[in-house]
Amino acid sequence: MAKKRVPLWPPGDESSKNPDDEPNFSDPDDFDDDIPDEELLEDLLPQKPSETEGVDSIIVIDGVPKVEPKRLEKLQSVIEKIYGKFGTIVSKSYPQDSNGMTIGYVFFEYSDPTSALNAVKQANNYKIDKVHTFKVNLFSDFKKYENIPEDWKPPEPQRFQPFTDLHNYLLDPDAYDQFCIAVGSNGGAPNVQIWQNCQPEPVCVEDRARWTDTYVKWSPLGTYLATFHKLGVALWGGSNFTQQMRFLQRGVECIDFSPNERYLVTYSPRAEADEKRLVMWDILTGQEKRSFLPEGPNVWPIFRWSHNDKYVAYMGEDVLSVYETPSFGLLDKKSIKIPGIRDFSWSPTDNIIAFWVPEDKDVPARVTLMEIPSRNEIRKNNIFNVADCKIFWQKSGDYLCVKVDRFAKKKEKTEQKYTESCKFQTLQHFQGMSYNFEIFHMREKLTPVDSLEIKEPIHAFAWEPVGNKFAIIHGETSSVNVSFYEVRCGHRPTLLKKLEKKACNHLFWSPSGQFIVLAGLTTMSGALEFIDTNDFTIMNLTDHYQTSDVEWDPTGRYVVTSVASWKTSVDNGYWLWTFQGRILKRVNLHQFHQFMWRPRPPTLLTPEQIKDIKKNLKKYSAQFESKDRLRLTRASKELIEKRCALMKEFESYRADCIERWNKQKKRRMELRQNIDTDELDSDTKNMDEEVVEFFVKEETFEEK
């Protein structure tokens, strides 16, 4: 490139140049610089600051309490603790008036714009107390809102887009339920199918290849189907299962819906240090409500919901933290200190938490019932010699059972051991185990507690979902028994029936109560026993070899037993049974992964209406039987029509073949030297059969 030479002195006589004069570096007026910056400053341009650098990293926090100078340090520590978790704060400013009082807003500058944006998204509307709520904005937003045009124009009306009917499946006139199955595809992502359990044959309503990367899950009320992908989770719903929402979070392995399907919790246990691990989302808007970094070993679900989605609780070391929605702020801004807390569970119908604490020196173990948000302890029950506890709520919330594993016998002062504190300490040795069931009557005054003791190993416990019975599997492995008890107001649990020597290790109650399946899973090769607990009639005793899962449909009319590929690679598939144990269908599927009935929301009928329907069920039976006969007749008619259509199609095809055969006869005669081979074939058919015998082999054996 040709470059113009710029003289250091003004043009003129060379003799007029004085070495002592300062050089002139100014360009002449007509000078044209045609060298671009990219060529002259190639190494410096990447470091050129942008116009918004520094501005987009600044946030403005409004709604800050106005405090005097002596309280400023405490205020700073509180605010910086809240907003410091989003990134590195490089500068901060707390404007004050002439008296040193803060004036209600502060400025924070982060090291990068992403941290500032996260602070606005996650910490806006943060409630610090009953009076003050922080409002957070980017500093650049002020300039944007200053340039609002004075001539306001109303927005153009948008065409109404109706929302997808997410509950259309409930409008089926015959109330058929739906179920979902996932089947592997040559080791890749599974194919997912949605079926309607019609009679006499189920009908596939949706079939998609590679719909999910791992598995699927229904929401608690059946509104959404969740699928898992590398980039996050997607929710599907409506008549055609269109995508309703997606949540971007890499490596999600576990999800948990709130009971009313308002919120979703996603968990990525293998997330990197700089990635989010546990996030809570608003399902309707897709907005991230809050994220957490749970520490230490946790049992899923880590956060547990109250029945009405109003609270969610997390158990830490010696604390129970309860957060309220929709702000997801800590209830009363402080956790509940419970030294030694081991486990907790929400009531399925009330905002009551049950938790237990182990023994500590001379203080006995205890089970406590606590109301939320008042934190009042409505009942506390002390228990002794405790090894472990398990909490079981009845579905209607009428009863709570706490299974207590106890040391049966205790021998004191049997041995002394020298401890690190240079003192001898008496050790206590325990012999044997016993098991107690503490039954809390939640609907009775003062919440009375009954105790039931069983001195045999306990394998399973399950409440009847609708009713006041519970079942226990107990006994040694070689001789397992099943006992049924009934709980009544003002009475101890009453033994109704004891079934001895049963091959089972799991209990599956019907969602409507009364019926139960005793199943021998894993090591018991799939033994099944269908029982009516009204009179304890064994309706059927059968098996499904290597059964891995048992699923009742939401109405309690059908049961599905399945063998998934995660347990064995042979005989994968599912079998459909009636509630009485009569087999209806056997479906074998290669690489079968998962079977799930679609849940239904709670009925709108009152308990009185349900009771009246059951009382007058015979009156409705005639209608149901008439529909069943009509359905079978329709199915038979459709089958006959289908067979007639196939027969007509075959006869038409046969007539065409005969016509072509006749047309080709002349050509056959030419190819076979005018010999009618067709007639020869007919003559051969009329000939008598000829028997031909020939020698095959002969062997001779000598007797010894």
* Structural element, H or E, at residue 60: strand 58-62
pLDDT tens for each residue of 463-479:
999 889 999 999 998 88
The C-alpha atoms of residue 535 and residue 530 are separated, in whole angstroms, by: 13
Lowest model confidence (mean pLDDT) among 73-77, 414-418, 548-552, 635-639: 414-418
- The yes-or-no verdict on residue 699 having pLDDT over 90 is no
Q: Where does a domain end: 144, 177, 196? A: 144
Q: Is residue 629 part of a domain?
A: yes
Q: Is residue 287 part of a domain?
A: no
Which residues are CB-contacts of 383 (< 8 A; sequence separation ≥ 6)?
A: 364, 365, 366, 367, 389, 404, 406, 436, 438
Q: Where does a domain end: 144, 171, 203? A: 144
pLDDT confidence of 37, banded at 50, 70, 90? low
pLDDT tens for each residue of 129-163:
878 889 999 888 877 777 777 787 888 888 887 77
Long-range contacts of range 338-344, CB-CB < 8 Å, 24 or more positions apart? 341/315, 342/389, 343/315, 343/389, 343/390, 343/391, 344/304, 344/313, 344/315, 344/320, 344/391
Task: Count up the domains in the chain and report the number.
Answer: 2
Burial 468-484 (b: 16+ CB within 10 A, else e): bbbbbbbbeeeebbbbb
Lowest model confidence (mean pLDDT) among 19-23, 442-446, 584-588, 674-678: 19-23
- The yes-or-no verdict on residue 178 having pLDDT over 90 is yes
Note the pTM of the prediction, 2 decimals.
Answer: 0.71
Question: C-alpha 457: how far from its chain's center?
Answer: 32
Q: Where does a domain end: 87, 118, 144? A: 144
pLDDT confidence of 53, banded at 50, 70, 90? low
The C-alpha atoms of residue 401 and residue 449 are separated, in whole angstroms, by: 9
pLDDT confidence of 423, banded at 50, 70, 90? very low
Percent of the chain with pLDDT over 90: 49
Cβ neighbourhood burial of 303 (10 Å; 0-12, 13-18, 19+): buried
Q: What is the mean pLDDT of the chain?
A: 85
Lowest model confidence (mean pLDDT) among 27-36, 66-75, 220-229, 372-381: 27-36
Q: Is residue 644 part of a domain?
A: yes
Helices and strands in the chain: count of H runs, count of E runs = 8, 42
pLDDT confidence of 687, banded at 50, 70, 90? low
CATH number at residue 137: 3.30.70.330
Q: Is residue 600 part of a domain?
A: no
The pLDDT, as a whole number, for residue 428 is 41
Q: Is residue 204 part of a domain?
A: no
For residues 619-648, average pLDDT: 78
Alpha helices in 402-496 (DSSP H): none
* 26-to-6, 21, 30 alpha-carbon distances in Å: 9, 15, 12
- The yes-or-no verdict on residue 281 having pLDDT over 90 is yes
Q: Is residue 399 part of a domain?
A: no
pLDDT tens for each residue of 576-608:
999 999 999 999 998 999 999 999 999 888 888
Question: C-alpha 68: how far from its chain's center?
Answer: 49
Q: Is residue 94 part of a domain?
A: yes
Q: Is residue 622 part of a domain?
A: yes
**122 lies in which domain range?**
58-144
The pLDDT, as a whole number, for residue 55 is 78
> Can you tell me which residue has the tokens 């070391």?
317
The pLDDT, as a whole number, for residue 219 is 96
More confident residue, 698 or 87: 87
The pLDDT, as a whole number, for residue 307 is 95
- The yes-or-no verdict on residue 18 having pLDDT over 70 is no
The pLDDT, as a whole number, for residue 559 is 96
pLDDT confidence of 295, banded at 50, 70, 90? confident
Which residues are CB-contacts of 666 (< 8 A; sequence separation ≥ 6)?
A: none
More confident residue, 13 or 254: 254
- The yes-or-no verdict on residue 17 having pLDDT over 90 is no
Lowest model confidence (mean pLDDT) among 200-204, 258-262, 335-339, 577-581: 200-204
